[in-house]
Amino acid sequence: MPTPYEVVTESIIKQLESGVAPWRKSWRTEMPANLASKKEYRGINVFLLASLGYGSRYWLTYRQAQTLGGSVRKGEHGSKVVFWKIDEYRKEDKETGETENRKSILLRYYTVFNLEQCDGIKSPEPALAVHPIEQCESIVRSMPTPPKLVQEAQACYRPSADTVGIPARSAFTSAEEYYSTFFHELTHSTGHPSRLSREGIMEHHPFGSEDYSKEELVAEMGAAMLCGVAGIESRTLDNSAAYLHHWISRLKSDSRLVVSAASQAQKAADYILAKGPAEIEPDLKGGKETETL
């Protein structure tokens, strides 16, 4: 009887050989806005807030939360936004004795909280229901010495800090896509020297290069395999195939590259699933790091 790994690999190859739809990013990044005024933030504030990876685009101050009948959840930390405070005043010219209009411009900041950090306030836009999936949570918990999880606007793995960055669950179009993305980054993290020490993950490769592309194949194959183990591959396989097609097109446009990537991906998936060390053969090479998506 074929394993989930073999079933997923064969399904992906069939899709690659028959043609696939374009890859889609599975999480949303919307322009941040103030909930009370409904005005969108501008300038550096867009980057300050959007980079934090929350699913809601709305922000408000502590006082605004209270005014709207809600509260900031205990223990939550606010984020800084800046604004220019412009005041006009009149000043006398000592030489001529005339008064003239002057402006003072000061850079100020204040603290805001995302709507997801608050209780008792209804969002003006209905939130997607992205609930945990126990089979997937079990896989995440099974990983020995996992990397640290950090909420960010993009999904990535940083070897130097050994951290996985990922947007909030509520930013994803579905729970299945959240876990598929999470599994992708966890697969990258298995290449760390403290785990499988996979060739390529710790070396600096430019985005889109051959070595970078090959590591992306391994990570996405690992994610697809873990989705297969969790039983959610029917909801994520199309997007995985499209993502793999994107990177294969940068190599030799050979769908069978998935087979070679699947070998390393299976070792990564086995590691995450806490299979016995005798079943996993580390690739004992290392080097400089690159941030992988």
pLDDT, tens only, 175-234: 999 999 999 999 999 999 999 999 877 777 777 688 888 899 999 999 999 999 999 999
- Helix/strand/coil (H/E/C) assignment for every residue in 159-191: CCCCEEEECCHHHECCHHHHHHHHHHHHHHHCC
Predicted local confidence at residue 89, as pLDDT = 65
> What φ, ψ does residue 158 adopt, rounded to 5°?
-115, 110
- DSSP annotation of 40 reads B
| CB-based contact 165:150 (threshold 8 Å) | yes
Give the count of beta carbons closer than 10 Å to the beta carbon of residue 89: 9
Identify the segments of the chain with pLDDT beneath 70.
86-87, 89, 92-97, 102-106, 127, 208, 276-293
Cα–Cα dist 4/13, whole Å: 14
Residue 194: what are its φ and ψ, rounded to 5°?
-80, -5
* DSSP assigned state of 270: H
* pLDDT given for residue 97 in this prediction: 65
